[in-house]
Structure 1
């Protein structure tokens, strides 16, 4: 059995890689929220996703609030689920993803 390492995260932080980012850490995304100050988790209660997509780590590091991840709010608390995506533009070897989780090879119809 493989041990799972828990890492204590202090917010805000500036990520150097997307490898350890979690769904629900907020900065990049389009939500139905407007405010005069950067959001905290409580500000996002009941907010819905307007549009989902994926961004390069540079989008986080080089824009917004000094490129920092501001906090975390588990998506399930607001009944938010990841959308379905394709793993790449070309069909050869393309996978169907839910968020970044690979589900299976994608069909031409999808």
Structure 2
């Protein structure tokens, strides 16, 4: 896989891939693909399980900075959550979150709007 790339569907995204989440002027947090979403055994082409990592910085995240991060929030998200916020998948980290690569859709996990991850990151890291 060549990074960075802009996903158009879930066909090329994988668990552990991350993107920058802008949180104010010149600050960033990080989103991560936690799992693909399936329904009745079929992988969804647009939705996936996203996570907000406990990291923020003055530059977009790197693999080395995210290795030991934990997940602050998770929710089902549309692929536009990546393309409308950070824009591109920047790389991939090995996951240590004990989540399967594919999860079935369930009402017990919230479904986020495109900008929900930005709002959650701003709140977590006190950015406007």
Q: Do the structures match in fold with TM over 0.5? A: yes
- Tell me which residue corresponds to 1:31: 53
Could you tell me how far 1:81 is from its partner in structure 2? 2.1
Q: Distance in 2 between matches of 1:86 and 1:15?
A: 21
Uncovered stretches (5+) of structure 1, i.e. residues with no partner: 1-8, 90-110
- Tell me which residue corresponds to 2:77: 55
Deviation string 1:54-100 (CA, Å, 9 cap, x unpaired) is 21011111212xx100100010xxx21228x66254xxxxxxxxxxx
- Tell me which residue corresponds to 2:97: 80
Aligned counterparts, 1:1-110, within 5 A:
9-27=1-19, 28=31, 29-64=51-86, 67-75=87-95, 79-82=96-99, 87-89=105-107
The residue matched to 1:60 in structure 2 has which SS? Answer: helix
Q: TM-score with structure 1 length normalisation?
A: 0.60
The residue matched to 2:81 in structure 1 has which SS? Answer: helix
Q: Distance in 2 between matches of 1:80 and 1:50?
A: 11
Q: TM-score with structure 2 length normalisation?
A: 0.52
Uncovered stretches (5+) of structure 2, i.e. residues with no partner: 20-30, 32-50, 108-128
Aligned residues: 76
* Aligned Cα root-mean-square deviation (Å): 2.1
The structure, 1 or 2, with the larger RCO (C-alpha pairs under 8 Å, 6+ apart) is 2
